A and B are shown apart, each in its own frame.
Chain A
Amino acid sequence: MTHLVLDQVSVHYDGQPAPAVERVSIDIAKDDFVVLVGRSGCGKTSLLNVAAGLVQPVRGRATIGGRPITAPGSDRAVVFQNDALFPWLTARENVAFALRLRGVGAAERARTADDLLALVKLDGAGDKRIWELSGGMRQRVGLARALAAEPQFLLLDEPLGALDALTRERMQTTLLDLWTASQVGVLMVTHGIDEALVLATRIIVLAPGPGRVVRSFEAGFSRRYAAGEAIRSIKADPAFAAARGELTDAIFEGEAA
């Protein structure tokens, strides 16, 4: 099985006195949903950008299926916090963008795009312009667009960060549905503790100054959702509350209360 591997990766931006990330190793399998959490400045986004090929590490190696990652590629589609959609295209054309780059014919493009829009529960919104969509709908389009590239891994950089709490919860189940349906490995950055617990199979807690891993949790809640249990009953489980306490402690470890 293909793995996305960060091996002893350090990131040091030009002109910065200290490295942003030091010696972080993450191994993501194709059925993993790995979530990076941590306080601001802990290098979450830097690590995601290394995996995306947008940032080159100064030390260590990033590989996908054993091949080194040197540039962005459609095997690792990124979804950003600000949707980064193209406002001159309709929702359908946005989703079909990756297919168009590959020279897929117009009819097939539209068919695939509509299928993907249905998958993110945006049936019938294909002809809408981007500015006519709400924040949540835009992120759905962004997800569908990333999936259209047929990636092996999805890299999500706080994709739900700009959404209101209710939309956010609905999007979390959409993300889980996509993850179970599409067989892609996910690496996601978030600030939300509950979000991390609901979505992740593994939670990696990072601490700043320089960014490093302090804890790594195996979390089983998303597998339970995949097995058919309702989100509400998962969240009501005392084990969920206990895990939340443990995770919160890990994030704020060493910080004056």
Chain B
Amino acid sequence: MFTSVDDVSARLAETGYLASPAVATTVFLADRLGKPLLVEGPAGVGKTELAKAVAEVAGARLVRLQCYEGVDESRALYEWNHAKQLLRISAGRDETWDETRTDIFSEEFLLTRPLLTAIRGDEPKVLLIDETDKADVEVEGLLLEVLSDFQVTVPELGTITATRRPFVVLTSNASRELSEALRRRCLFLHIGFPEEELERRIVRLKVPGLDEALARSVVRVVGALRAMDLRKVPSVAETIDWARTLLALGADTLDETVVRATLGVLLKHQDDVLKATAKLDLDAL
């Protein structure tokens, strides 16, 4: 899919995703080694966006499995369409049982769910397993077979093996420790907060109307907030929101009043707002 790490950065940038060297390297390796990519990091740094960008670059279809507590085989893998099977049985009254049986367990009555969809068919696909940590431990066991051999066993149909391996991205917010077995099958990528220069470029790209000097100040203030010991530090998503807010307010430079008025966009806890106000000397008027 990619020829070099620089190629990855350049092509992701075309879709509007600016990747740090770490991200680009790992995506390149995931493609080369054919291994799933496990992405961890704080909320709002673009974990899901990465999968979407890769899909766009590769011209692939994005298949998404959103995990939640209680997601199970029939939601993740496949399910038989019972209602349709019943209709089929009652429609063919004078058939023998053997005919009916071979017929109702055929592809026509199979409802494919994301994992099976991703490994069937010849078109390129990107499989995004979002918020893996929200799923129960049992689902991880299910993922192991799919991710290591790219095959799924349906008892009535046999084993379905991927003719073309999808590019797999798993994301996690680390609210639960994923099992060692799952981690070992993946390349691990931790997306942290970007460097100042990269974040400035991201802000400029996402909020084109913002002028260079203001973007620089915005990123510096956010950097300072991240260095404070806050309950919830602002993420890239918040930086962009803030930049949009400033643009909407028509502020062309930062000053105490503007920052104090818009701090709520960046910080989501009252404790944090108070602490930041004190540390940034916003009271000094």
Does B bind A?
no
